[in-house]
Amino acid sequence: MIGLPSTITACLFDLDGVLTSTAVLHRQAWKQTFDDFLKRRNATDFTPFTERDYASYVDGRPRLDGVRTFLASRGIVLPEGGPGDPPDAETVHAVGNRKNELVLRVIEEQGVRPYPGSVRYLEAAERAGLAIGVVTSSANAVSVLAAAGLDRFVRSRIDGVVITRDRLRGKPAPDSFLAGARELGTEPERAAVFEDALAGVEAGRAGGFGYVVGVNRADQADALRERGADVVVDDLSELLGVSA
């Protein structure tokens, strides 16, 4: 009774915004990064980075894809640069490095808090014998999971480091979720995807997964359904005691 069809044998969870509250920290870091960048380029005609920009162009995507996609929406194309670019350079990697620098600083200062309802759901899924994996675009997943005390549940982890290493396409492509299912030895149709990002829900649907749970942390329940969520909840604890 954890709100999933009886055919489901594995759960693939996004991290930020589904298991931990770090999505808010990422959103703040992206806003500061892009606002500072845009002001430097054109202070007199500055249009700030918005919540809608975050949901449409950044949320759920690998870091560098988020940089490219948002800047393209503003008609800006930067050279790629390389991983070692300083944060103040005008390259895709540099902008991504600046954002990562900011979010790591905030995480160090504020810590990482898992959602209590998500912890309860992980415990219930584990008791039910379901395999548990995390699929996230974040390159900081190892430290975030450990800081939140959630690494004890996770049998498979596909994160930003793995996505880059294995040259997987980022969400909304399904590659990372499909890789997570393979690591758990599970066919996609027997796995459930849990996502708060529109791009992540799209990825779950595109991958042919057996059930897609949309987690509504940003007042976008209708959009999550439109992108393919089978069910939308405000907190994972709402699924406990429910039969799908």
So which residues are the catalytic ones?
14, 16
Which residue's structure tokens are 């600083």? 105
- State how far the Cα of 100 lies from the Cα of 96, in Å rounded to an integer: 6
The identity of residue 241, as a single letter, is: G
Q: Are 219 and 39 in contact, with CB atoms under 8 Å apart?
A: no
Closest C-alpha to 138, from 188, 197, 214? 197
What are the tokens at 125? 């899924």
- At 149, phi and psi to the nearest 5? 75, 25
What are the tokens at 227? 């992108």
How many C-beta atoms lie closer than 10 Å to residue 30's C-beta? 24
The identity of residue 38, as a single letter, is: L
